[in-house]
Structure 1
């Protein structure tokens, strides 16, 4: 991992700390970031000295999701193109979900869209009290890529978040069972390390088999089938032609992603203000 540009890996006393480092894009999951993150996960999964893995972003954002500007620049448009692209996105999230040792998500700031899915794939989440979670991509004509949310917070809360694109704060996320602990920003690393060290006291084979049992329980409940079925639906959803999606894409191409997101949010601000 010495040549990685966007992922920093630090292994200390049986705990692997993986940090996403693309602050100028709020840790957006570009093709390059995802490739390096996947490589880091492979390294720690195969290292028998590692018992617990921590995935984190920076102070402002865990991750705001997939790199929309890159997708627009690549010209991804048809259902077939989206299906191929989404395959890599799903594979990364499910690699975290199925890693052979526990993964803790250390979340501060924005945790949105594909970034939220990545966090949800972690076995545990500790977040700061300023964290924000959600899948706002629905507001410009996209949708969740890896459909984990119904299995974590239930039908009604999932329906509301995925129909509206709303975000929720850290305390609401804890109420819904999306996160385990909410802490002050300055206490995040210390709390995550204490939790990781407690878990790391358990022998690695026991952790591996316990995680295998837990993931298989969710498989028996239909999680993998839901993820697989959603792959094809998401490809069609992302290629659907709507005036809103067309305008959003045009603004990204002509004025940049920041302007496009401002346009998107302004459409909903009028309703939120009432």
Structure 2
């Protein structure tokens, strides 16, 4: 009687899984001295490979993982590293601290300060991504150049879109809060899993913002997208599951285990199968016109900061501080009472 090792591949159950890790080791030994590093640190996030999972984790917890000019650049670099690493089957995106991402680091723009904390000057200095350039372009007493604004926001969007265009599946783990620009990032992921009590939404639609990536209607449909964006209201992680925005939700204390179990299941799939499935399914989103939605939304996002109300909000922020201006913005909607 033949042993398993003597059987042909056709005779052995799940033979396609055999030798994967050994094959990767031989690939590295044939093409390079050492495999790529398992961990890296970027200005706004960390990157780590464990087994077949690449973990991208926002790492500005004291600032609520607020988005800076470095964030899209860091995302592009880390996604590209995961895509080109044959060990990686799935990417997990999450945030350290109390929440996933609190949106853009808008205080510096609204208050007209020089540079938000944490920005890397060498990569963005004197470009449309430099907050000082944007602050000058947003001066209510000057003339607005909409293409400087577009050059900035379109590049943020391209950075976030690297998650959607990644060869490999991207799962977002949301906890605490995922608001404003944080949703621009999360909605580019293939799957969202959230803690039940996660706060999710885009309050800046009340003044000074339009979701620049234009993905809400594609993700949750026209009616529900309008329900959120006409009011700037937020939903919970549990509601996100009910609305089809999230694929699963759990109490906060159970979120980690739920996500780990799910990405482990994805990681069992052949990586070429995952790539083909993602490309095939993304073709439906492209056919829906997501590129056109992003273009229109990016332009209107810039316009919203240069309307009469947008200028008034910016002037108020420069006078009393951004946080106080936001509190005043939200008072009429009762958000302070709900939180």
Alignment TM-score, normalising by the size of structure 1: 0.92
- How far the C-alpha of 1:59 sits from its partner, in A, is 4.4
- How far the C-alpha of 1:93 sits from its partner, in A, is 2.0
For structure 2, list consecutive stretches of 5 or more residues without a partner in the other structure: 1-38, 113-131, 139-143
Q: Is the 8 A contact 2:202 2:211 kept in 1?
A: yes
Select which of 244, 248, 254 maps to 2:313: 248
Q: Is the 8 A contact 1:27 1:63 kept in 2?
A: yes
Following TM superposition, the consecutive aligned residue runs of length 4 or more in structure 1 with deviations greater than 4 angstroms are none
- Distance in 1 between residues matched to 2:72 and 2:323, nearest whole Å: 22
Aligned to 1:20: 58
Higher-RCO chain (CA-CA 8 Å, sequence separation at least 6): 1
Aligned to 1:263: 328
Aligned to 1:227: 294
Kindly tell me: are residues 238 and 215 of structure 1, through their superposed partners in 2, closer, same or farther at Cα, counting changes over 3 Å? farther
For structure 1, list consecutive stretches of 5 or more residues without a partner in the other structure: none
Select which of 33, 37, 40 maps to 2:78: 40
Q: Deviations over 1:31-80 (max 9, x none)?
A: 12332222212211221111100110134211111221233333142322
1:139 to 2:206 alignment: yes
- Distance in 2 between residues matched to 1:71 and 1:49, nearest whole Å: 41
Where does 1:9-88 land on structure 2 (aligned, <5 Å)?
A: 9-72=47-110, 73=112, 74=132, 75=135, 76-77=137-138, 78=144, 79-88=146-155
SS at match of 1:65: coil
Between Structure 1 and Structure 2, whose CA radius of gyration is higher? Answer: 2
Aligned to 2:230: 163
Q: How much is the aligned-residue C-alpha RMSD, in angstroms?
A: 2.0
Aligned to 1:209: 276
- How far the C-alpha of 1:145 sits from its partner, in A, is 0.6
- Distance in 1 between residues matched to 2:108 and 2:282, nearest whole Å: 32
- Distance in 1 between residues matched to 2:326 and 2:166, nearest whole Å: 33
Aligned to 2:25: none
- How far the C-alpha of 1:3 sits from its partner, in A, is 4.8
Aligned length, in residue pairs = 271
Q: Deviations over 1:153-178 (max 9, x none)?
A: 11111111111100011121111100
- How far the C-alpha of 1:269 sits from its partner, in A, is 2.4
